[in-house]
Amino acid sequence: MGLFETKPKLATVLGKAFRCLVCGHPWFWSREVKLNSTGAEFFDMAWANASATGLICDLCGYVHEFAGSDRPQLWKEKQGYPEGAE
């Protein structure tokens, strides 16, 4: 899905293993997602909007958005989850 990504990744949120809220699948693609506002769009300044991290489920395609400072961490299969995240 990503331009340079070759495989989906596992994710943790606040140190806990994350699964898709729709289908329960643990593998995700990630990308930056713009949080568009009407005012910025009206003045043709959409580029100035805040952004979030989007985790896209590899199975069902549902997009989970995470804004703020506690963004999800992504893990390759070989890395596995950090201790206690499962």
Q: What CATH number did the domain enclosing 36 receive?
A: 2.20.25
**52, pLDDT greater than 80:** yes
User: Which structure tokens are listed for 77?
Assistant: 């299969």
Query: For residue range 56-84, what is the model confidence (pLDDT) as tens digits?
Result: 999 999 999 998 777 898 888 766 666 55
Select from 85, 81, 62 the least CA-distant residue to 14. 85
At residue 46 the predicted structure's pLDDT band, cuts being 50, 70 and 90, is low
Is residue 6's pLDDT more than 70?
yes
- Specify if 28 maps to a domain: yes
Confidence at residue 4, expressed as pLDDT on a 0 to 100 scale: 57
The verdict on residue 59 lying in a domain is yes
Asked, for residue 27, whether it belongs to a domain, the answer is: yes
Domain count, the chain: 1
The residue among 71 and 9 whose pLDDT is bigger is 9
Tell me, yes or no, whether 85 lies in a domain: no
The phi, psi pair for 23, rounded to 5°, reads -115, -10
Q: Which domain holds residue 26?
A: 10-71
